[in-house]
Amino acid sequence: MEPIIEVSNVSKKYCLNLKKSLWYGVQDIATHCLGKTIKSNLRKAEFFALNDVSFKVYPGDCIGLMGGNGAGKSTLLKMINGLILPDKGTIKVTGKVGGLIELGAGFNGLLTGRENIAINAAIIGMTSGEVKAKTQQIIEFADLGHYIDSPVQSYSSGMRIRLGFAIAAHLNPNILLIDEVLAVGDTAFRMRCFERLKQLQKAGTAIVLVSHNPIDLERMCNRSLLLTKGKLELDTDLATGLSTYESLLATSMVNATTTPDAPASFDKIQLKSNSLNTFDALSATLTISTTDPQLPLRVLVNVISPNTGVLGSVTSNANVVLQGQTQYNVTLTLPNLPLQFGGYVLQFWLYGPNLTNYYASSQPIPFKIVGPKTDSFGFGPSHTVYFHNTWTK
């Protein structure tokens, strides 16, 4: 099968200094007007917002594009959309590109919803014939009742988005770019959106979805791209990509600290495996050293999810006594881990005998649960923790 998007060694420069950025803009325009090629070397105050990114997308793919703020996700979408040009490399796009990026772009507040449908549909690339044929479908999908004949400025932001989505979802593009727009609207409308997107995907539309919501990504995507600081870190299946991204997120939530002159510290913490399935046993070995063998030590561990924060803590004093040595090798086992698909981190804390004897907290230790797949459409268990369940009638 031929790829529908082909991104080859693409880099894009950005400049954080506005005055310089504007001037570089003038330079770039002049370069192109003179028929020359933009040079890829960095000028003063510039950096690469995207750096040497390559990947291919095929019809029917649904790609979750992940990465922290400033990772380059939106820049990449804009380039695939043809809004901005790469400074290096090429992007080949085949077919009609639709964007759920800025819903309702070009809406005029003084005009009615119905009038704006015609304008917005033309903006996103429908022909006048298509607009005529689809207006009724769009109105039904948006389901705004009599508001459809009121000026758009009287709409709530949710209503605007509904109308915008309804129009964009009826474009039937070959490629659909979605940037953080699925998080709005009530549940019923969101489910209708997902259903529509699934229909499009089945019909061969390739979807590139940017979202910070793991559940949305899980619902839609079969592949993931992970960007960190402009570089393509991972191009893999959704389970690996999403759980890696989530553990990265959780890692960034956690800070390692130590008390100055603390009598004890963590030397080494190692997981037996950092890629598990739900109900596997998680096993970690810790090496702890102390300058005072008489000091009784206590280890606490937090299990952290980026979505919900600390899920639970357990402490060592329940099982072991850490006293009488200068170094301890401790193994922690968490059997039957009830965590579901996603990325997590462990953080270990080292305490003395009393409440106030805090010595150190470890670096975050990431691990991921890669299976079994959960069902986020409400046909099976999903989200973070698995609860055993029985139903009777």
Give the residue with the Cβ less far from another protein, 32 or 272: 32
The only residue of 28, 52, 235, 280 in contact with another protein, by rule CB under 8 A: 28
Terminal-residue alpha carbon distance, the chain? 50
What is the chain's length?
393
Closer residue to another protein (CB): 78 or 229: 78
Q: Which of residues 29-48 bind another protein (CB under 8 A)?
A: 29, 31-38, 40
What is the helix (H) or strand (E) element at residue 243, kind and residue range?
helix 238-253
Residue 225 · residue 65 · CB < 8 Å: yes
The residue (of 82 and 204) whose beta carbon lies closer to another protein is: 82
How many residues interact with another protein (rule CB under 8 A)?
Answer: 52
Q: Residues near 206 by Cβ (< 8 Å), separated by ≥ 6?
A: 4, 5, 57, 58, 59, 60, 61, 62, 63, 174, 175, 176
CB atoms within 10 A of CB 275: 15
The residue among 101 and 142 lying less far from another protein, judged by its C-beta, is 101
184 part of the interface to another protein, by CB under 8 A? no
- Counting contacts by CB under 8 A, is residue 330 touching another protein? no
Q: Rounded CA gap, 287 and 141, in Å? A: 59
Q: Which SS3 state, helix, strand or coil, does residue 259 take?
A: coil
- Report, in Å, the least distance between residue 48 CB and another protein: 13
Kindly tell me which of 102 and 292 has the beta carbon lying closer to another protein: 102
Q: Does 167 bind another protein (CB under 8 A)?
A: no
Shortest distance (Å) from residue 288 CB to another protein: 48
Binding pattern for the stretch 61-100 against another protein, x by CB under 8 A and - elsewhere: -------------x---xx-xxxxxxxxxxxxxx--x-x-
The nearest distance, CB 116 to another protein, in angstroms, is: 8
x/- contact string, 124-153, with another protein (CB under 8 A)?
Answer: xx-xx-------------------------
Q: Which is nearer to another protein, 33 or 318 (CB)?
A: 33
Cα separation, 304 vs 344, in Å, equals 6
- List Cβ neighbours of 37 (8 Å cut-off, separation of 6 or more): 31
Tokens of 130: 């298509």
With CA atoms as reference, report the closest residue to 176 among 221, 138, 234.
221
* Token pair of 391 as six digits: 């139903």
17, 45, 54, 105: residue in contact with another protein (rule CB under 8 A): 105
Give dist(CA 343, CA 285) in Å, integer.
20
Q: Can you give the binding site for another protein, defined by CB under 8 A?
A: 12, 21-22, 24-26, 28-29, 31-38, 40, 74, 78-79, 81-94, 97, 99, 101-102, 105-106, 108, 110-111, 115, 118-119, 122-125, 127-128
